[in-house]
Chain A
Amino acid sequence: MASPMTKKVLLMGRSGSGKTSMRSIIFADYMARDTMRLSPTIDVEYSHVRFLGNLHLHLWDCGGQDDFYRNYLEHMRDHIFRSVELLIYVFDIESEEQGSDFSQFADVIEAVEQHSPDARVYVLVHKMDLVKEDVRKAVFSEKEASILSQASDHLRIQCFRTSIWDETLYRAWSHIVYSLVPNTALLESHLNEYCTICGADEVVLFESTTFLVIAHATCIPHSDTHRFEKISNIIKQFKLSCRKVQAHFEGMLVQHHQLIALFENLTRSTAIMFISSDPDLMHTALISSNVAQFRAQLKICGLIG
């Protein structure tokens, strides 16, 4: 087996902005409301996350208090900002000190640009649930514009609005991890082929612990562009429910009018969702055997462990 590919991910932003909360929900199975009990992060908390067979993430959750930042930017500058694959910077939309938020952001960007010029940057405008729904879009656009205007031309920066209380969290993080998964193009071409052969409307591949989407193939277009993050959120919530009875979620079959939705573990680290509205395909045994074949095929290609 090939040696694991480890990628360094920096998680930064001011104290209380929600970094640890998000990380705990996505990677450590916290419930949104359990995050109220988290205490401020002191210095850097390192965590090693195994994501898919061969891809390992090294998350550096950097405590956000001003003193720590002085330290990161001065004494530890090289250690922190060297060989960064990805920076996730979090803004608290309700923050009262926008001025210093931005100056810290500018310092971080400068340091990343200097030490890891190839890094990608994702900016999460967080706690959007605290903004009234009718103005969320406008508030976010404004914030996004001022963030992008701060940034240099060299780094690739993308902004998302997030909240731990809805699926926006999964939208942003799916995007982020998707950018880290190698071979997605090949994976998707296999998935597309499979989708066509077995007459599915849609086939989606999830990483099993986070339930983030890593690839999908869509044969019959669907109008809801946010459906994947909704599914991630829904299944993740249910996985937590299963944990309360000391069990893991292994699979689900939904037969609803003309819909059949099948969730099954595909490999050790992935799960597959199969959607079909074709009444001729309503035989679950058939679908299951298709899934088994596809699993074998992926194994042969060595695509995911």
Chain B
Amino acid sequence: MYANLERWPATPSEGDNERAERAPRIVLMGSRRSGKTSMARVVFGKMSPHETLFVPSTAQPTLRLVANSDLVHFSIFDVPGDRDLSELRWRDAQMTPRDLFGRCVVLAYVVDAEADPYSECARLAEVAAAAKAANPRVQLEVFVHKVDGDHFLSEEQKLDCRREVEACARAELAELYAHGSDETVDPQQAQAYADDCLAGAAFSLTSIYDHSVFEAFSKLVSRALVPQRIVLRKMLDALVTACDMEKSFLFDVASKVYVATDSAPVDSASYELCADAIDVVLDVASIYAPDKTQQPEPSEEDTPVREEEPKQTRSNAASIQLSNGMALVLDEVDRNLALVCLLRTENLEKRDLIDYNLGCFRTALARLAALNASSAGK
């Protein structure tokens, strides 16, 4: 086992190193103490925000494997903030930008909202340009992080901060381009380069003290890291149409990150409510049916025996009613995946229709997983 490998959930198994190396990768970068390690641990390692005060500064690049289900399977490469790109080492070897960004799907860059935006963005520009040069397919996500302090009491202040970071990143990228060439560069060309680097990049406001960091990771994961994300979206669209729902999320239960959602726009408040609904249902269930909620992972030997278990007629499910005419339906569609849907209360009355469609969804998902497994086996 390598010293700098972490795994979530924390049941290490043979071949984790290799799996972590092979998995699609998020490269997490940003200046020292910007909050990278805290973010990753809070979202995927279940650390409470207060505990992060004791997280030591990361000394070596660290690879974390997140392996919660077939759909949530990737690694996070956490790069210490102060290191120059040219002096990065991984496993006693020099790391070139190609090593760093080669397997990288998403470059998540953390900007400390409490620090000076100019120096933060200068470094962001440098890293983004290097990533682009090494692997043009890398998707950039910028987290404008720690927007919970005293400087950010209003929504307006947060949005201002995000605008400033984005403008500043653009300017720094253009500048970098201009300086990189000996001849005088047409400012329009420099601008075009900056636009190109930031094309499709999302700038999210985040804090570990609320849902924002979970929502930001949800966007990242559902947009870039889930295999078959397009099919999943179509399946959810079909479900929403069939049952007359307002919104649906397929959640990774362990992290409260959604791995897929239907095509309707995501509103933060609905996301928060759906994520909290998972908590309330699981917490109640864990008190009154504790042995059932903490099922041990089936070991190799008893896998075949599982078929003799009584067939369950229905999956673990829940529904919640609110006073504003809305209701939530939760359904455990697979180990560690839960579907949470928001719908009008009157549509909840067609419970049989909903159950039938949820059943179809589960079947389709299982088929998708089987397909995935057989193609991975080849």
Interface set of A (CB-CB < 8 Å, partner B): 33, 201, 222, 224, 227, 230-231, 234-235, 237-238, 241-242, 244-259, 261, 275, 277
A231 to B284, Cβ gap below 8 A?
yes
Note all chain A residues with C-beta closer than 8 A to B314.
Answer: 255
Note all chain B residues with C-beta closer than 8 A to A256.
Answer: 281, 285, 288-289, 292-293, 316, 318
B324 to A245, Cβ gap below 8 A?
yes
Note all chain A residues with C-beta closer than 8 A to B319.
Answer: 252-253
Q: Can you list 25 pairs linking A and B with CB atoms under 8 Å apart?
A: A224-B290, A234-B283, A234-B284, A238-B277, A241-B272, A242-B322, A244-B272, A247-B322, A247-B323, A247-B326, A248-B323, A249-B320, A250-B321, A250-B323, A251-B321, A252-B280, A252-B318, A252-B319, A253-B318, A253-B319, A255-B314, A256-B288, A257-B289, A259-B289, A277-B289
Shortest Cβ distance from B332 into A: residue: A256
Residue among A33, A230, A235, A241 making CB contact with B273, cutoff 8 Å? A241
B318 to A249, Cβ gap below 8 A?
no
A245 to B270, Cβ gap below 8 A?
yes
Q: Do A249 and B287 form a contact, CB below 8 Å, given A238-B277, A259-B292?
A: no
In this complex, the member of A201, A231, A277 whose beta carbon has the largest number of chain B beta carbons within 10 angstroms is A231
Add 16 more A-B contacts to A222-B288, A253-B320 (CB < 8 A).
A230-B283, A230-B287, A231-B284, A234-B284, A237-B280, A238-B277, A238-B279, A247-B322, A250-B322, A251-B320, A253-B318, A255-B316, A255-B317, A256-B293, A256-B316, A259-B288
CB of B196 closer than 8 Å to a CB of A? no
Note all chain B residues with C-beta closer than 8 A to A253.
Answer: 318-320
Note all chain B residues with C-beta closer than 8 A to A222.
Answer: 288
B292 to A257, Cβ gap below 8 A?
yes
CB of B276 closer than 8 Å to a CB of A? yes
CB of B264 closer than 8 Å to a CB of A? no
CB of B118 closer than 8 Å to a CB of A? no
Interchain pairs with CB closer than 8 A, number: 96
CB of B269 closer than 8 Å to a CB of A? yes
Over the window 194-232 of chain B, the binary record of Cβ atoms lying under 8 Å from chain A Cβ atoms (1 yes, 0 no) is: 000000000000000100000000000000000000000
Note all chain A residues with C-beta closer than 8 A to B312.
Answer: 257
Q: Tell me the chain B residues, 258-317 only, with Cβ under 8 Å from chain A.
A: 269-270, 272-273, 276-277, 279-281, 283-285, 287-290, 292-293, 312, 314, 316-317
Shortest Cβ distance from B270 into A: residue: A245
Interface set of B (CB-CB < 8 Å, partner A): 209, 269-270, 272-273, 276-277, 279-281, 283-285, 287-290, 292-293, 312, 314, 316-324, 326
Distance A125 CA – B283 CA, assembled complex (angstroms): 27
Note all chain A residues with C-beta closer than 8 A to B324.
Answer: 245-248
Distance A237 CA – B275 CA, assembled complex (angstroms): 12
Note all chain A residues with C-beta closer than 8 A to B292.
Answer: 256-259
B318 to A254, Cβ gap below 8 A?
yes
B321 to A252, Cβ gap below 8 A?
yes
B280 to A259, Cβ gap below 8 A?
no
Interface of B is mostly: helix
Note all chain B residues with C-beta closer than 8 A to A249.
Answer: 320, 322-323
Q: Do A261 and B288 form a contact, CB below 8 Å, given A235-B280, A244-B269?
A: yes
Residue among A201, A227, A237, A245 making CB contact with B269, cutoff 8 Å? A245
Distance A227 CA – B312 CA, assembled complex (angstroms): 27
Q: Do A242 and B283 form a contact, CB below 8 Å, given A250-B321, A257-B292?
A: no
Shortest Cβ distance from B275 into A: residue: A241
A242 to B273, Cβ gap below 8 A?
yes
A288 to B: closest C-beta gap in Å? 12
Distance A211 CA – B272 CA, assembled complex (angstroms): 21
Distance A247 CA – B314 CA, assembled complex (angstroms): 29
Shortest Cβ-Cβ A-B pairs, 9 listed: A248-B323, A241-B276, A247-B324, A247-B322, A238-B280, A259-B289, A256-B285, A257-B292, A250-B321
Distance A275 CA – B321 CA, assembled complex (angstroms): 18
Note all chain A residues with C-beta closer than 8 A to B288.
Answer: 201, 222, 227, 256, 259, 261, 275, 277
Residue among B273, B285, B326 making CB contact with A259, cutoff 8 Å? B285
A231 to B322, Cβ gap below 8 A?
no
B279 to A254, Cβ gap below 8 A?
no
A234 to B280, Cβ gap below 8 A?
yes
A252 to B326, Cβ gap below 8 A?
no
Note all chain A residues with C-beta closer than 8 A to B279.
Answer: 234, 237-238
Distance A33 CA – B50 CA, assembled complex (angstroms): 11
A257 to B316, Cβ gap below 8 A?
yes
Distance A40 CA – B320 CA, assembled complex (angstroms): 38
Distance A101 CA – B255 CA, assembled complex (angstroms): 44
Shortest Cβ distance from B276 into A: residue: A241
Distance A252 CA – B281 CA, assembled complex (angstroms): 9
B87 to A: closest C-beta gap in Å? 40
Shortest Cβ distance from A226 into B: residue: B287
